Amino acid sequence: MKLKKLFQSSFAKSVAMITGGTAIAQLMSALFSPIITRLYSPEEYGVLSVYTSILGLIVIIASLKFEWGIPIAEDDEKAVNVMALCFFVLIIFVILVFLIFLFFGEPILTLLDARALLNYRYLIAVGVFLGGAYNILLQWAYRNKDFKSIANTKLAQSITGNGVKVGLGFLHVGPIGLIVGQILHQGAGLGTLSRSFSKNNIHLVKKINKNDIFWGSKRYKNFPIFSAPAQFLNTAGLQLPVFFITSLYGSEILGFYGLANSIVNLPMALIGISVGDVFYGEAASVGRSNPKRIKDLSNKLFKTLLLIGLIPLLTLLFFGPFLFSFVFGSQWYEAGVYARILAFLVFARFIFTPISRIYAVFERQKEALLLDLFRVILVFASFITAKFLELSSYEAVILYSIAMSIVYLVTYLLAQRILNQEIKKKENV
């Protein structure tokens, strides 16, 4: 009965809207994938994995997480000034990234075992700008609960990114085809979000002024101080395996891992992120005034996600290698083996991560930073152990999966503790 009420609620309808758009986008990606894997080799896919990892590490802090102040600002006038602050920071950041890779690109990429990207290092700044701008406008959409526009961006990204990869693949341009496709995927939703802002909130641009931008930088200073490093560490925990794998086992193994990782994360992208986005939108608007409501919602979500997540988990465990060979071609059989291993990790991420968005809602940046530091330490420990014990690539990924699953569990448990503390505060007022 409770489950039925959950799915009939406005929250569930919002989730369904984003999930519907994401589902269509992921279906299109799934249809494109067998073509893409036959146009590019595992080694070329490995180059894309390295580029995506570097971009992911940089984009996540491109506006120093000031954008997280947009959904929780007291009113729209303050929110639009925070958004202006974000774009100002983003532009400066992109210029710095361009100059750093212009003058120091070779030693940096050599250190990261990513020399394959030397010829494409100038494209990193382009990807950072498009990805950063998208993230800023996305937060405005969360504030307005404009989930329809968010859903439309998912579709635009899938069509653009995959279409470019296939088109350039037929021209046999090499890994640059995958990289350009990834860049355009990053920025494809900008048009939709920009039009939505212009249509409904363009009058707010007149409210932007230097004093309020400065106010926003002071009011939300904890985001760049704590959240930006925390998110960098969080992303590092996800992306570091790419650099370790290419260093220890080579680009071909990285290609197998990269494809497996992207495919097994489809349930997370399809449902988990959508649930997390809507949960964040709800929590940002009512969390401080009614934490008990968020606590009840989080408990219902956990049970629902647990049941849903079992389906892809069991499918990958029993049929992973066979499915990868059949869908992507026989040369990708090993990717199916990695998918089987990563299934446990993605299951933990799927059921725990959406609910853990409350760290930002209650501005508990210090706790989030410590958790992400813990994550990175475990990732380092996993692969250093793998190197010291001369483990196979399969064993290394197993060790990494166990470590990350522990982190997600701890993050969830501490998030629940924060909710309990906030509920007690309200009861004692």
Segment 357-362 mean pLDDT: 76
What type of residue sits at position 400?
Answer: Y
At residue 270, the pLDDT reads 63
Segment 382-405 mean pLDDT: 93
Distance CA 117, CA 111 (A): 12
pLDDT digits (tens, 9 = 90+) for 111-130: 766 777 788 888 899 999 99
Segment 274-292 mean pLDDT: 69
Q: Is the pLDDT of residue 409 over 80?
A: yes
Give, in degrees to the nearest 5, the angle at Cα 14 between 162 and 303. 95
Give, in degrees to the nearest 5, the angle at Cα 238 between 234 and 239. 110
For 19, residues 6+ apart whose C-beta sits below 8 A from its C-beta are: 270, 271, 274, 275
Residue pair 154/21 in contact by the 8 Å Cβ criterion: yes
Of 7-11, 66-70, 186-190, 410-414, give the lowest mean pLDDT range: 7-11
For 264, residues 6+ apart whose C-beta sits below 8 A from its C-beta are: 312, 316, 339, 342, 343, 346
Confidence of residue 282 (pLDDT cuts 50, 70, 90): low
Confidence of residue 268 (pLDDT cuts 50, 70, 90): low
Q: Is the pLDDT of residue 216 over 80?
A: yes
